[in-house]
Amino acid sequence: MPTTAPSPLLSDSLRGLGLDTGTLFFALNYEFTKIEPKGLFKRFKKDKSAVDIDLACVLYDENCIISDLVWFKQLRDKAEAIKHQGDSLNGKDRGEQAMYLAPLDQEQIRIELAEIPLHITHIALIANSYHGHSLSRVKKGEIHLSDDEGNRCFEVNLKQLPRDCKTLWVAHLRRSVDDWHLTLQNLPLSAEDLSKAAQEVAHELARSLPIPQGI
């Protein structure tokens, strides 16, 4: 029976969370939210008048150097272990089956853990508002991580995020000896786009590395 166990302090191995460690799905669902332009902004293109949220997975080596980035501009990593299933531009453009609360996720990234190259030690899961609207401006929405059996280990309510949060480091996967360790970060980033957010997370990861002995 699929379960959901969200927690703001979530940090455990995938097995400890009761997840199948084969395949994970990093996914997004939100209700179409139109943004009424004001003043000179009315001259902007129509595609900027709705909230557009994007997901990304960033792969880092043991030194927290970016090795690969899976997002709407690159749908697969080099090893094809992580696959973006397609970009939604506004939360309603992928058909009735992928509307908010419909059977399919509007945006989803599939992660095959066994296929990830051994030099990859960290994976950051990131969400970003493409047009710079606050993530919490959506009428309703959530981001979640689940396994192939439908078990969810967390669910982030977009409406509960800070009002100025446009980019969010959602979670961190860290390779351990025989499993992956998951930490729910829920950390707003200052970066305005996903490529800069990947660099910002690299800096945060490097700060958390243990200091080598003798230094």
CATH code: domain of residue 189: 2.60.60.30
- Taking the C-alpha atoms of residue 50 and residue 36, their distance in angstroms, rounded to an integer, is 8
Handedness of CA 24, 179, 157, 36 (dihedral sign): negative
Q: What is the pLDDT of residue 36?
A: 72
Helix (H) or strand (E) holding 174: strand 167-175
Q: What is the pLDDT of residue 49?
A: 80
Q: What is the pLDDT of residue 208?
A: 81
Whether residue 49 lies inside any domain: the answer is no
Whether residue 124 lies inside any domain: the answer is no
- Taking the C-alpha atoms of residue 126 and residue 62, their distance in angstroms, rounded to an integer, is 19
Which domain, by its residues, includes 90? 19-35+57-119+131-208
Whether residue 4 lies inside any domain: the answer is no
Please give the distance of CA 198 from its chain centroid, rounded to a whole number: 11
Number of independent structural domains in the chain: 1
Q: What is the pLDDT of residue 161?
A: 96
Question: Are the C-beta atoms of residues 25 and 111 closer than 8 Å to each other?
Answer: yes
- Using DSSP, state whether 132 is helix, strand or coil: coil
Q: What is the pLDDT of residue 167?
A: 98
Q: What is the pLDDT of residue 37?
A: 67
Q: What is the pLDDT of residue 105?
A: 81
Whether residue 69 lies inside any domain: the answer is yes
Q: What is the pLDDT of residue 89?
A: 52
Residue type, 126: I
Question: Are the C-beta atoms of residues 180 and 164 closer than 8 Å to each other?
Answer: no
Q: What is the pLDDT of residue 39?
A: 54
- Taking the C-alpha atoms of residue 53 and residue 133, their distance in angstroms, rounded to an integer, is 9
Taking 50 as the pLDDT cut, the residues of the chain under it are 1-8, 41, 44-47, 90-95, 97-99, 212-213, 215
Whether residue 42 lies inside any domain: the answer is no
- At 141-183, the pLDDT tens digits run 999 999 999 899 999 999 999 999 999 999 999 999 889 999 9
Whether residue 66 lies inside any domain: the answer is yes
- Taking the C-alpha atoms of residue 100 and residue 139, their distance in angstroms, rounded to an integer, is 10
pTM recorded for the entire structure: 0.85
Whether residue 51 lies inside any domain: the answer is no
Whether residue 5 lies inside any domain: the answer is no
